[in-house]
Amino acid sequence: MTTEKKGDWILMRRYEMGRLLGQGTFAKVYFARSLTTGQSVAIKVIEKEKVLRVGMIEQIKREISVMRLVRHPNVVQLYEVMASKTKIYFAMEYVRGGELFNKIARGRLKEDAARRYFQQIISAVDFCHSRGVYHRDLKPENLLLDENGDLKITDFGLSALVDNRRQDGLLHTTCGTPAYVAPEVINKRGYDGPKADIWSCGIILFVLLAGFLPFHDSNLMVMYRKMSKADFRCPNWFPPDARKLIVRLLDPNPNTRITIPKLVESPWFKKGLKPVEANDDPAGVVDAAFSMKPTSLNAFDIISLSKGFDLSGLFEGCGKRGIAAEARFTTQKPAAAIVSRLEEIAQTGSFRVSKKDGKVKLEGRKEGRKGLLAIDAEIFEVTPSFHFVEVKKSAGDTLEFQQFCDKGLKPSLQDIVWAWQQGGDVEQQNFAGASASSPPIAANSR
């Protein structure tokens, strides 16, 4: 899986690993560089044995699901997930500027700088909420700055999805950092994810402008009582409009606490606001200069799809009711024919299409339950006349993806598919000896 090279090491023949950037209880983060593009990335290395021992599998799965859902300029991007027998690897966006916490540690920020960072935080948090994602651990240590001074939210390890709510529509897991957690989270009677995140944003804004916390005490119970009573004072250098906004953000009653739609209309927040939009790759821009070429599968790639190495069950396999978030099929048709058929399906289903690096990307035009449905189809060449295709949901609702597969994808591809495999494991022998005259037999859909 890895080989040594001049003191550094090569990961999965994809990344040249470099210096250690930081480490925690279960993971280390390294600087790395892509061997194909030269792009700088951060690689998070997680010890699989430790994760299994402490029962963190669901947390890892949730973190991956969340980071695939939230593609926003002010959120650290997850590029890919890899694994060996002993480790899990996240390849993520490398953010050069360090933590916002280090900037605040030197003293309070000027009003305009504080406002700019806060606007970017709210833009990212609002986008997360629109995708049914609640961070639950917003604090300056989880806010990074890039080389342009723009803010990026990171560490979704404690985040929750809308599906994590109980029948009462509330979340019940007590988590977060004490000084930034909302009073209703501590009370253990259930809480609304977006409202709890807004409280944390209020604490961050106060810290940006003041240089210290609004609620602080060496005795946690005393600090929590202050939070529940909104027992804090704004310094006299706070502008009046900022003071009014913070009072509404740090309202201990979640039912009367300001919401993001009301927040973004406040005079202090709107000053100098530059709207941020999530990245979009419209159809036609890439297509004009794009020549579709399938990715080649070598022996290592084929083995990695076998039962012993398949990570789909750990990372992106099924939802709470066993709903698959990916589908695979084998075919003897050439890549051009596969791409052409996917484009036809996209037009019928009102999807926008783009093609890049051996992938066909489909993005829905209508908002679904969790935003726009986005689908990636990647074509792998096993032999010149035999291809393996992997179709994955990259954003949106898993149930809507499943409906797309059942009602659109499968019926439209039935004449070119050799065998479907969805939600199951692909055995190594299925690929052994693949040839033009004898394609391998894949597991049937369960």
According to DSSP, residue 417 is labeled -
Task: Give residue 209's domain range.
Answer: 100-270
Instruction: Decide if 278 is inside a domain.
Output: no
Q: Is 78 left (phi over 0), alpha (psi -120 to 50) or beta?
A: beta
Same domain, 244 and 139: yes
What is the CATH number for 201?
1.10.510.10
Q: What is the CA radius of gyration of the chain?
A: 24
**Backbone phi, psi, residue 309, to 5°:** -115, -10
Residue holding tokens 């049937």? 444
Q: Which of 72, 93, 114 is the last residue of a domain?
A: 93
Contact 79, 332 (CB under 8 A): no
Q: How many domains does the chain have?
A: 3
CB 324 within 8 A of CB 313: no
134 and 89 share one domain: no
What is the phi/psi pair of residue 143, to 5°? -120, 115
Does residue 141 sit in the same domain as residue 264? Answer: yes
Q: pLDDT > 70: what percent of the chain?
A: 80
What one-letter code names the amino acid at 32?
A: A
**Domain-located, residue 417:** yes
Among the three residues 74, 93, 112, which one is the final residue of a domain in this structure? 93
Write out the catalytic residue numbers.
137
Model confidence pTM above 0.75: no
Distances from the Cα of 317 to the Cα of 165, 312, 422, 423, 428, angstroms? 20, 5, 9, 6, 19
* 44 appears as a binding residue in the annotation: yes
d(CA 329, CA 363): 21
Higher pLDDT, 130 or 403: 130
Same domain, yes or no, for 44 and 72?
yes
Residue 381 clears pLDDT 80, i.e. is over it: no
Does residue 416 fall inside a structural domain?
Answer: yes
The verdict on 378 and 232 lying in the same domain is: no
* Residue 69 shares a structural domain with residue 120: no
Instruction: State pLDDT tens for residues 269-327.
Output: 999 998 777 654 333 222 322 234 455 554 444 444 444 344 444 443 333 334 567 88
Residues 246, 296, single domain; the answer is no
Q: Does 122 lie in the same domain as 262?
A: yes
Alpha helices in 131-271 (DSSP H): 183-186, 193-210, 220-228, 240-249, 260-263, 267-270
Q: Is residue 282 part of a domain?
A: no
The answer to whether residue 437 sits within a structural domain is no
Residue 276, exposed/middle/buried by CB under 10 A (0-12, 13-18, 19+)? middle
Q: What is the pLDDT of residue 392?
A: 86
User: The domain that contains 30 carries what CATH number?
Assistant: 3.30.200.20
Task: State both tokens at 370.
Answer: 């969790």
Helix, strand, coil percent content, the chain, rounded in steps of 5: 35, 25, 40
The DSSP secondary-structure symbol of 171 reads: B
Structure tokens that stand for 136 in this block: 């639950």
Residues in the chain: 446
pLDDT digits (tens, 9 = 90+) for 149-190: 999 999 998 898 888 888 888 998 888 999 999 999 998 889
- Closest to 404 (Cα-Cα) out of 372, 433, 360, 373: 373
